[in-house]
Structures are given as structure tokens and as C-alpha cells.
Amino acid sequence: MSQAATPPKWRTSASVILVSRDLGKSEDYQLLMLKRSDATAAMVNQTVFPGGLLDSEADENVAWLQYFEEFGVPQEALRRLVLIRDDRPAILAPQGTGCYDRFFKRSRIWAREITLRLTAVRECFEEVGVLLCRNRNQLDFGAVTCVQDVPDLEAWQRRVHNKPSEFLTLCRELKVVPDLWALHEWSAWASPGFMRKGFGFKCL
């Protein structure tokens, strides 16, 4: 009897599908995409949505929860993002156990609905310079996506690229929070088996 094949170890990633209505054309929309360079490790020269790998140290850091609280974001606003269901894709499974009431008292964020949103917003900023965020006057969490101008944009993009945890530093300096509430789940999928590196994506 042959032994079952070992399942691939997918690297968890997130992408942003950013859509805007084409002004003057009520039925047309524009999509934000980028072309990967020939120096990238995967999907060379392909046109893709901005996104990339989840960074555990940066995106699962409980310092984000502390910052949201300091900023005035109600815990309930974050809880509304989290869906506890058995039929969720594996990429969205909680990365930890414990009582739901202890959600904000852990050493790292275990809710993928939050960490992958942070990944998506961070990668979108790093790759295309678009910062999806809200200031204190925009904490009504409406459907409109908010975008922030960033002084010294290219320098900050390099800082975040070299050290993803610098994204929190950027948000602190600009006095904004990542706009997790304007993102909506679109799909969860894995790269085809023939690719040299496997990625599991959550598109928002």
C-alpha cells in the first residue's frame, strides 16, 4: 500500500483587489494591479493584485491590538470582523485556541480575519504606495475606503519592505489605523502544484 503524499506547506499570503468606479462611466470600473519584475521568485513578469506573505512578527503582533485600543477603536469593531464557523477555508482557521472572550489578552493575534487584513494593507502600501487607513475622525467604519498621503513615501516603502514591523511605526507617526473594515473577503485559494513555491492567498 502506497503512503499518502505529504500535503504541500503553503505560505500564507493576502492580496487586495482594489476597485474604483471609472469617473464619467457609470458601468465601468478600474482595478489596481501591478506587473511583477523578472527578479521576483514567483509569477515572474505577471500582472497581479498587490499582496504578499503574512509576516508573523509584524502581522500577528498583539501590539496592533494595543494600538487599536489606544487609538479609540472599540473592541466590538474588531470582533465584528471575526467569523467563528466550521466551514471556513483552512487558511482562515484561527491560529490558536481558547475562549473567545480572551481574544484581546493573548501574546499574538490568532484571528486570521484580522492578521490577513493587516498583511493585505501592509503589502498594498509596500508594493504600490497606497495606504488604506482611517484617522480618528473616520472611525465610523463606513463602506468608503480611506487613503492617506504619506510624506517621504518611497523611503517608508523601503523601510516597511526591509522590516514589516515598521508598518506599525508608520501608522503611529501618521496617527492612523489600517482600514480593515473596508476590506471584504473575496476568495481563498492556493497556487497550482506545478509552481516552485506554494502560496495560500486570501483576496480582499
pTM (two decimals): 0.81
List the domain range (segments joined by +) for residue 42. 11-203
Q: Is the pLDDT of residue 95 over 80?
A: no
User: pLDDT tens, 47-83?
Assistant: 888 888 999 999 999 999 999 999 999 988 988 888 7
- Name the more confident of 200 and 12: 12
Sheet holding 51-53, edge to edge: 51-53, 11-15, 199-203, 187-190
Sign of dihedral through CA atoms 20, 21, 22, 23?
Answer: negative
Segment holding 20, helix H or strand E: strand 19-21
Q: Is 6 contained in some domain?
A: no
Query: What's the CATH code of the domain at 96?
Result: 3.90.79
Whether 5 maps to a domain, the answer reads: no
Identify whether 66 is part of a domain.
yes
The model's pLDDT over 8-46, given as tens digits with 9 standing for 90+, comes to: 567 888 988 888 877 776 677 888 878 876 655 556 677
Residue 146 counted as domain residue: yes
The answer on pLDDT for 125 being more than 80 is yes
Residue 1 lies in a domain: no
**Within a domain: residue 2?**
no
Domain count, the chain: 1
Q: How does strand 47-48 pair with strand 34-35?
A: antiparallel
Residue 3 lies in a domain: no
